[in-house]
Chains A and B, each alone.
Chain A
Amino acid sequence: MSSVYEQIGGEAAVDAAVDIFYRHVLGDNRISRFFEGVDMETQAQKQKAFLTMAFGGPHNYTGKDMREGHAHLVKQGLNDSHFDAVAENLAKTLKELNVPQNLIDEVMTIAESTREDVLGR
């Protein structure tokens, strides 16, 4: 059985998803403020890291990295509602790309598993 990442289409799927996902996030005023300020290309690169991880692809991030990487956002008030909004945009992106529902469900499970670390609890 191949991984979710492989079934979705690997790096090509991440490339296809990143612009759509990032556009949704920037257009969602519940969370756009967290993604503003920094250089857009750097941000897009980070969204690629996010998507690769959520798709169950190869990455070197530990739970501790996720805590540290989002700690400055938690200080700015990052909470469950923002986490839910990001997850919602992720699901919406995958639907637009016609990813089958069973794979979307698996991606959502992977994303959900990082909740406590991302929110620093």
Chain B
Amino acid sequence: MPAITYEDNSYALGEGESVLDCLAREGHDIPSSCRSGVCHSCMLRATSGELPPAAQKGLKDAHRAQGYFLSCCCHPEGDLTVTRADDATQKVAARVLRKETLNDRVLRVVLETDKPLEYFPGQFVNFARPGGLVRSFSLASVPALGNELEFHVALVLGGSMSGWLHHEAAPGDPLELLGPLGNCFYVSGNPEQPLFMLGTGTGLAPLYGILRDALNQGHRGPIHLFHGALLASDLYLTESLRDLDGKHENFTYHASVRDEPGEDWMEQGAVDTLALKTAPDLKGWKVFLCGNPDLVKQVQRKTFMAGANMKDIHADAFLPAGGG
């Protein structure tokens, strides 16, 4: 059994255990959230030993070279000595500025940071609360808005972070932000490329950021945004999006509702079916898929089969904390 050395103690790694599991079992308080290599909150640094490639997947080259790794995905074959990696992720102090209701379940949370956060709209940050609770939320704002960061938070039944944000958080409450992370964002340089954006629920948050970023940067190619819901009351920001649709010749907002007819400007059906009917040939398109992990995965495959290149498909699955 490989031995994991941390803060001068060595522990035998159990069968099938990740380094994170092992240290948590021994009572060490290592932050974690997604447990699937997405959020980077469990990052540690190896000072000796050999890291399996899977433990460094998705990290920056510079971090990789310095031995940073994701402890939730690290199943080493030999001994490792590891330390905390506090210096590797950008940390920014933030406060709740205001909260606004977007629909029955979705809250717009606006945070203010002391110093500006450098980010691309559509990336996500980790919210860290005192006590070690960490959850990821996507940036719906654009940097032009200054130090104000916008997030859309869906209330999850019994949810620790979403429950706190919905029911308790008040203007002035502090939060620590880690990040930004993720590569689901708009890249300028190809202003004619058609864009396909699809999301359900708060998957709209990163898409709303990416959309405004693309429009601000003068994107000229067609942009289609598909937001799907079960009931019309699950949709949100419909007025802002219809407004943008009216103002920009190249932007089309498609709102769809699966389980009822909805209003007359909405479409009825499953969002992925409707979207692929509107855009059946995605050769040369850029694709952004955000929200429910199962849907994201299915649509990733469908858009690939419809001709989009793998490198042009950005999938941002909102995996629940804890992994599976």
B141 within 8 A of A: no
In the complex, which residues of chain A have a beta carbon less than 8 angstroms from the beta carbon of B300?
40
Shortest C-beta distance, B302 to chain A (Å), equals 10
Q: Are A27 and B309 in contact (CB under 8 A)?
A: no
Which residues of chain A (2-19) have a CB below 8 Å from chain B? 18-19
Q: Complex formed: what's the CA distance from A92 to B304 in Å?
A: 18
Q: B297, B300, B301, B310 — which one has the most chain A CB atoms within 10 A of its CB?
A: B310
A55 within 8 A of B: no
Q: Complex formed: what's the CA distance from A19 to B304 in Å?
A: 9
Compute the total of residue contacts between A and B using a CB distance below 8 Å: 19
From A41, which residue of chain B is reached at the shortest CB distance?
B310
Shortest C-beta distance, A48 to chain B (Å), equals 10
B305 within 8 A of A: yes
**CB-defined interface of B281-324 with A at 8 Å, one 1/0 digit per residue?**
00000000000000001001100110001100000000000000
| Given A18-B310, A19-B310, also A40-B304 (CB < 8 A) | yes
From B317, which residue of chain A is reached at the shortest CB distance?
A39
In the complex, which residues of chain B have a beta carbon less than 8 angstroms from the beta carbon of A44?
310
Q: Are A19 and B309 in contact (CB under 8 A)?
A: yes
Q: Are B301 and A22 in contact (CB under 8 A)?
A: no
Q: Are B301 and A40 in contact (CB under 8 A)?
A: yes
The count of chain A contact residues (Cβ–Cβ below 8 Å) is 9
In the complex, which residues of chain B have a beta carbon less than 8 angstroms from the beta carbon of A19?
304, 309-310
Shortest C-beta distance, B307 to chain A (Å), equals 8
In the complex, which residues of chain B have a beta carbon less than 8 angstroms from the beta carbon of A23?
304-305
In the complex, which residues of chain A have a beta carbon less than 8 angstroms from the beta carbon of B305?
23, 26-27
Shortest C-beta distance, A2 to chain B (Å), equals 28
Q: Are A26 and B310 in contact (CB under 8 A)?
A: no
In the complex, which residues of chain B have a beta carbon less than 8 angstroms from the beta carbon of A27?
305
Which residues of chain A (43-70) have a CB below 8 Å from chain B? 44
Shortest C-beta distance, A15 to chain B (Å), equals 9
Shortest C-beta distance, A50 to chain B (Å), equals 15
Shortest C-beta distance, B39 to chain A (Å), equals 16
In the complex, which residues of chain B have a beta carbon less than 8 angstroms from the beta carbon of A40?
297, 300-301, 304, 310
Shortest C-beta distance, A98 to chain B (Å), equals 18
In the complex, which residues of chain A have a beta carbon less than 8 angstroms from the beta carbon of B304?
19, 22-23, 26, 40
Q: Complex formed: what's the CA distance from A109 to B26 in Å?
A: 53
In the complex, which residues of chain B have a beta carbon less than 8 angstroms from the beta carbon of A41?
310
Q: Complex formed: what's the CA distance from A12 to B305 in Å?
A: 22
Shortest C-beta distance, B280 to chain A (Å), equals 15
Shortest C-beta distance, A96 to chain B (Å), equals 13
Q: Complex formed: what's the CA distance from A18 to B311 in Å?
A: 11
Shortest C-beta distance, B73 to chain A (Å), equals 12
Shortest C-beta distance, A29 to chain B (Å), equals 12
Q: Complex formed: what's the CA distance from A2 to B297 in Å?
A: 41
From A47, which residue of chain B is reached at the shortest CB distance?
B310
Q: Complex formed: what's the CA distance from A40 to B300 in Å?
A: 8
Q: Complex formed: what's the CA distance from A22 to B301 in Å?
A: 11
Q: Complex formed: what's the CA distance from A44 to B301 in Å?
A: 12
In the complex, which residues of chain A have a beta carbon less than 8 angstroms from the beta carbon of B301?
26, 40
Q: Complex formed: what's the CA distance from A19 to B282 in Å?
A: 13
Q: Complex formed: what's the CA distance from A19 to B310 in Å?
A: 7
11 A-B pairs within 8 Å (CB atoms) are namely A19-B310, A22-B304, A22-B310, A23-B305, A26-B301, A26-B304, A27-B305, A40-B301, A40-B304, A41-B310, A44-B310
Which residues of A approach B to under 8 Å, CB–CB? 18-19, 22-23, 26-27, 40-41, 44
Which residues of B approach A to under 8 Å, CB–CB? 297, 300-301, 304-305, 309-310
Give 7 new A-B contacts, CB below 8 A, not counting A26-B304, A40-B300, A40-B310. Answer: A18-B310, A22-B304, A22-B310, A23-B305, A40-B304, A41-B310, A44-B310
* Closest 10 A/B residue pairs (Cβ): A44-B310, A19-B309, A19-B310, A40-B300, A23-B305, A27-B305, A26-B305, A23-B304, A40-B301, A41-B310
